[in-house]
Amino acid sequence: MRVAPPLLLLLPALVLLPVLVALPLLVHGGGWELIGQFLQGAISPSLDPVVLNSVITGLGLTLGMALLGWAVSLMLGLVLGLASSRLIWQSLSGTALPAELVRRILAIPRAIHELIWGLLLLQLVGQQPAVAVLAIAIPYGALVARVVSDLVDALPTPNLEALRAGGAPAGAALLTALGPPLLPGVISYGGYRLECALRSATLLGVFGLGGLGNELVLTLQSLQFHELWTGLWVLLVVMLGLESGIGALRRRWGMPARFGLGAGSVGQRGRELLLSLLALVPLLLWVGRALEVDPRALLQWQALPPLAPHGWASALALPWPSMVLQTLVLTLLAAALAVGVAPLLLLLVAPWPWGRRLLQLIWAFGRLWPPPLTALLLLFVLKPGVVTAALALGFHNLGILGRLLLEGAEATGSASEDALRCSGSGPRLALLYGRFSGLARSYLAYGAYRADVILRETVVVGLVAGTGLGAQLRESLSSFAWDQLAALLAVYVLLTLVGEDLSDRARQRLLRPA
Amino acid sequence: MGAMQGSSPATSPPVLALEAITVLGRGKPRLDGVTLQIAAGERVALLGPSGAGKSTLLAVANGLLEPSGGQVLWDQQPRAHSARGRRRQQARIGTLWQDLRLIDELTVQQNLNAGCLARWGWPRAVLNLLLPIDSAACAEALQRMDLDPGLLNQSVAALSGGQRQRVAMARMLRQEPTLVLADEPLANLDPRLAGDLLQLLLEQAKAPRALLLSLHRPDLLQGFDRAIGLRNGQLQFDRPVSEIDPAQIQQLYGAEAPGP
């Protein structure tokens, strides 16, 4: 028996069966009334000027943190990316060894989620806007560096060799041969990172680093659902606006879409692009001033509380195997839910013209709604645990994967699906056979990448839903047990590096021509 | 219901009837008041220069495009209102697309069985993606197209151009349609292959089946019963192939627009 591509796409959705079986066991008594009130709040958000004012202020702070963190991460990422490119070291110094070294070192900041960076920095330097900016910039910078170096090293080299053979100095030859083909990929990826930065900044707010996320979690905890929805609707409008704006610029400048990162297209309208980048500089300076971000404050470290005696012994005594197992199960459950449910839902709504619109709205909420908030909401009716955490994390990533799947489905064209419809097959079967066939491999490859991201993100729901390494991390953080924290971070880094390697292999296998 | 109008040369009821079909386009209409009928057993060629509206006419005939004016009747029935009725109607229309529209990621057998999706429910449709099913019928469909049944398990992407063309035809026949529509199926083939394929297609079009095939090479007309000339979205002639004289064809493809 060989599973054909369209079914392969739906295979991860099989995880729904055990989840649906487990769900009734997880439901506890009360709380349904609260869920009802929450849903009612959606149609009657508070329009009180005081609420609106605090939402707008919080949104400004979140947007500012996202923008600054994003800009710093791009600059960091470009420099570090070039510094970890084998091709560049090879051309400049004749050996690629330093590139390998930088790559290995960068794996560490990349493996640690921005929330952990945020919480660590918060302990070290106290509450201030610069913390969130830096918390975003560190892991994002390392991520951008990896993508940039991969892009550089994947570029064809004959042009470079020709320039070098003609006697051009290494630096000039690199810039001329690699700059133009590199730019579209970098800009496209950069735009995508800005969308991510907005989500991260909101998430950091949930954990007390300021901004709209803070408002959201406070209104949720005090059950002020009408006020909660004011923030949610505003955030939805901003996020959809940002996404469509970035999409429009990407098309206007002829940049590749996300599904086929690395597909070679040459950018257009270079002057407009340059002017936009230049316009960013005063904007960033103004935002920095408005948020009162002071990089110098980051240097004033608070004194750490003394270590508890026998700290290392107690760190070793933690239930490591079960924590690691829970984290892995959480990752796999959430990834399977997110990857599998998106195509399943698309199939379900295929016959109805409004179905897609509805899904787009639900998915948009999934993207903007930080997973710990979903977890809090689920805790109204479900017991804490791996499944609850996986549902929260899965819903968030469903929003991201669902949008990508729709983009991909629209890009594949309707010819085969139309042909099947014309021969009388139903809308669902036509979608399954006609569109999912061509989409399956690239979508699953992206899903493999996403699973790697989800592994990093487990900490975010672990902190709330009380499961895995994340739960222990919160305890260690709040009790200032630095030794436990160091051990936890080391395990996290190790896990994510192994996960990254596995997901890379899975991706390469999926994208290899059959 | 007395839905029929005009004089039909055939005695059996029409499989397809277009009545004063108009499709609006940018500026001028893509189809302008086209009326024609095709009876069971008839093999009709659709001629005309590129841009004449042949593809539009076929898209109206296979239900993909709803005309802005006029009515289409399939087996004397207008377009069904219910989704189920539409699907039953569509299942009787087989289309051979110019770009074939095979599913490259699936095997030949899975592609052939995709022609049966209208009749099959979900269980068989899903099973087809897991196991080779209906192998005997698929092998027979390949043999009818002069293809080796050994190809069943191959990926469609690995086939040659001529093989793909035949697989597309076999898929269409697996559907068991009463009306066969083909949009320039011979355009990208070398002359010998084009002749072979046309022969295969003409053999399949026996009553109760009917065939409408768009062609831009008038030299392939023998074997057809009737030819229809289309130019600028308007019907120029509709008569038995034996009664068509070369001047008419020349006029159809000529540079100047024919008089009203």
Inter-chain touch A4–B175, beta carbons under 8 Å: no
| Amino acid, single-letter form, for residue A183 | L
Q: Is B125 on the interface with A (CB under 8 A)?
A: yes
Asked if the model's pLDDT at residue B257 lies above 60, the reply is: no
Residue A33 pLDDT: 84
Inter-chain touch B92–A419, beta carbons under 8 Å: no
Residue A342 pLDDT: 94
Asked if the model's pLDDT at residue B3 lies above 70, the reply is: no
Q: Return the residue of B nearest to A440 by Cα.
A: B105
Q: Work out the minimum CA distance from A441 to partner chain B, whole angstroms.
A: 10
Residue B37 pLDDT: 92
Asked if the model's pLDDT at residue A29 lies above 50, the reply is: yes
Residues B100-140: tens digit of each pLDDT: 899 988 999 999 999 999 888 889 999 999 989 889 999 99
Residue B83 pLDDT: 86
Residue A262 pLDDT: 41
In chain B, positions 144-203, which contact chain A (CB-CB < 8 Å)?
A: 155, 157, 172, 175, 177
Residue in B117, B130, B167, B172 to test binding to A, most A beta-carbons within 10 Å: B117
Residues A63-72: tens digit of each pLDDT: 988 999 999 9
Residue A138 pLDDT: 92
Cβ–Cβ under 8 Å, residues A457 and A113: yes
Beta bridge partners of B16: B38, B74
Q: Is B87 on the interface with A (CB under 8 A)?
A: yes
Residue A261 pLDDT: 40
The C-alpha atoms of residue A167 and residue A181 are separated, in whole angstroms, by 21
Residue B168 pLDDT: 92
The C-alpha atoms of residue A437 and residue A452 are separated, in whole angstroms, by 24
The C-alpha atoms of residue A87 and residue A92 are separated, in whole angstroms, by 9
Residues A111-167: tens digit of each pLDDT: 888 888 888 888 878 777 788 888 999 999 998 998 888 887 777 777 777 777 777
Give the 3-state DSSP-derived string for A376-429, with helices as H, strands as E and coil as C.
HHHCCCECCCHHHHHHHHHHHHHHHHHHHHHHHHHHHCCHHHHHHHHCCCCHHH
CB-CB: which of A3, A423, A429 is closest to B91? A423
| Amino acid, single-letter form, for residue B20 | A
Compute φ and ψ for A290, nearest 5 degrees: -65, -35
| Greatest Cα pair distance in chain B | 59
Residue with tokens 């496209």: A188
Residue A303 pLDDT: 66
Residue A38 pLDDT: 86
Residue A255 pLDDT: 65
Asked if the model's pLDDT at residue A431 lies above 70, the reply is: yes
CB-CB: which of A1, A424, A429 is closest to B90? A424
Q: Return the residue of A nearest to B120 by Cα.
A: A425
| Contacts A4 to B, Cβ<8 Å | 105-107, 110, 129-130
Residue B58 pLDDT: 92
Q: Return the residue of A nearest to B105 by Cα.
A: A437
Q: Work out the minimum CA distance from B172 to partner chain A, whole angstroms.
A: 8
For the segment A57-67, the average pLDDT, to the nearest whole number, is 89
| Amino acid, single-letter form, for residue B78 | P
Q: Is B94 on the interface with A (CB under 8 A)?
A: yes
Residue B192 pLDDT: 82
Q: Is B110 on the interface with A (CB under 8 A)?
A: yes
The three-state secondary structure class of B223 is coil
CB-CB: which of A3, A418, A426 is closest to B87? A426
Instruction: Name the pTM for this structure.
Output: 0.84
Residue A514 pLDDT: 53
Asked if the model's pLDDT at residue A226 lies above 90, the reply is: no
Residues A490-507: tens digit of each pLDDT: 888 888 888 888 888 888
| Contacts A353 to B, Cβ<8 Å | none
Residues B8-52: tens digit of each pLDDT: 444 678 899 999 999 998 888 888 889 999 998 899 999 988 888
Q: Is B124 on the interface with A (CB under 8 A)?
A: no
Inter-chain touch B114–A420, beta carbons under 8 Å: yes
Residue B45 pLDDT: 92
The C-alpha atoms of residue A159 and residue B133 are separated, in whole angstroms, by 52
The C-alpha atoms of residue B167 and residue B183 are separated, in whole angstroms, by 16
| Contacts B103 to A, Cβ<8 Å | 416, 433-434, 437-438
Residue A411 pLDDT: 79
**What percentage of residues in chain A have a pLDDT greater than 70?**
94
CB-CB: which of B97, B114, B177 is closest to A433? B114
Write down the mean pLDDT value for chain A: 83
| Contacts A432 to B, Cβ<8 Å | 125
Inter-chain touch B117–A423, beta carbons under 8 Å: yes
| Contacts A438 to B, Cβ<8 Å | 103-105
Cβ–Cβ under 8 Å, residues A497 and A435: no
